[in-house]
């Protein structure tokens, strides 16, 4: 099978995500954690910021990815709900939201398809929603070690990326499951936010001291 054939199913899944969420572009990755990391790394190219404000009760991988992006954390009292911003970056952790027309313009929204409570349940997966075509193309290369979606032997790698591409078989399952978000007349359904209770991460050794 030609290389472009392998990637076509992922592209079809991304188009389905974009259509349902109202985002111009969707880039599938292996997890919401990777989506957050790549989004922060991309925005650092343009903003000289070194601190991210987070609710102290959120999923543990969020502050982990902030630290992996070599940024500092300041926690505030609050819970992760729906889609919240990783201020001052225009990045949103939307792991608890997946619904029709959810996209917030001029942002990178990070989705999660991992876990029993998620509406779209995959073995493991996530995506970045964006309206920035340049950012979308960067994310596509960044998730594949800097590669492009072409024959490896004919590729020119322009920067060192990361290995967090969504496997085609996972994308195929995601595309199949997208049907559940439309009614029998083909109209998109609105889905409620997922609710999760998280511990206070600011009190844990890995993050203690990072509190406003």
Dump pLDDT digits (tens) for 56-93.
999 999 999 999 999 999 999 999 999 999 999 999 99
Please choose, from the candidates 119, 95, 122, 91, the residue with its C-alpha nearest in 3D space to the C-alpha of residue 188: 119
Residue 47 lies in a domain: yes
User: What's this model's pTM, rounded to 2 decimal places?
Assistant: 0.94
Whether the pLDDT of residue 160 is over 90: the answer is: yes
Distance set, CA 90 to CA 130, 203, 212 (Å): 10, 26, 20
Per-residue confidence band for 151, with pLDDT thresholds at 50, 70 and 90: confident
Residue 168 lies in a domain: yes
> How big, in percent rounded to 5, are the helix, strand and coil portions of the chain?
35, 20, 45
Residues of the domain holding 193: 3-136+162-203
Cβ atoms 181, 45 nearer than 8 A: no
Residue 157 lies in a domain: no
Residue 22 lies in a domain: yes
Whether the pLDDT of residue 112 is over 90: the answer is: yes
- Give the per-residue pLDDT at 44: 85
Please choose, from the candidates 84, 69, 85, the residue with its C-alpha nearest in 3D space to the C-alpha of residue 142: 69
Residue 99 lies in a domain: yes
pLDDT in tens, 20-47: 999 999 999 999 999 999 999 999 877 7
- 3-state DSSP call for residue 11? helix
Residue 24 lies in a domain: yes
- Give the per-residue pLDDT at 87: 95
Average pLDDT, the chain: 93
- Give the per-residue pLDDT at 1: 45
- Give the per-residue pLDDT at 5: 66
- CATH number of the domain that 91 lies in? 3.40.640.10
Per-residue confidence band for 209, with pLDDT thresholds at 50, 70 and 90: low
- Give the per-residue pLDDT at 154: 87
Whether the pLDDT of residue 105 is over 50: the answer is: yes
Which residue in this structure is represented by tokens 């398809």? Answer: 113
Whether the pLDDT of residue 179 is over 70: the answer is: yes
Q: What are phi and psi of 33, to 5 degrees?
A: -60, -45
- Give the per-residue pLDDT at 124: 94
Both structure tokens of 203: 């009190």
Domains of the chain: total:
1
Residue 150 lies in a domain: no
Residue 212 lies in a domain: no
Per-residue confidence band for 211, with pLDDT thresholds at 50, 70 and 90: low
Residue 40 neighbours by CB under 8 Å, 6+ apart: 52, 65, 66, 69, 71, 86, 89, 91
């Amino acid at each position: 099978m030609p290389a472009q054939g392998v990637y076509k199913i992922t592209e079809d899944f991304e188009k389905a995500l974009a259509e349902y969420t109202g985002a111009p572009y969707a880039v599938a990755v292996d997890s919401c954690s990777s989506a957050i990391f790549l989004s922060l790394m991309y925005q650092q190219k343009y903003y000289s910021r070194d601190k991210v404000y987070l609710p102290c009760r959120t999923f543990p991988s969020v502050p982990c990815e902030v630290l992996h992006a070599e940024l500092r954390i300041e926690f505030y009292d609050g819970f992760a709900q729906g889609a919240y911003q990783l201020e001052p970056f225009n990045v949103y952790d939307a792991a608890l939201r997946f619904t029709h027309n959810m996209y917030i313009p001029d942002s990178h929204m990070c989705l999660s398809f991992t876990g029993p409570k998620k509406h779209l349940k995959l073995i493991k997966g996530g995506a970045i929603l964006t309206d920035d075509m340049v950012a979308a193309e960067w994310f596509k290369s960044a998730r594949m070690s800097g590669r492009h979606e072409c024959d490896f032997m004919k590729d020119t790698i322009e920067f060192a990326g990361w290995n967090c591409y969504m496997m085609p078989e996972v994308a195929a399952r995601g595309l199949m499951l997208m049907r559940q978000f439309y009614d029998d007349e083909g109209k998109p359904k609105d889905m409620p936010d997922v609710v999760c209770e998280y511990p206070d991460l600011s009190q844990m050794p890995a993050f203690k001291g990072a509190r406003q």
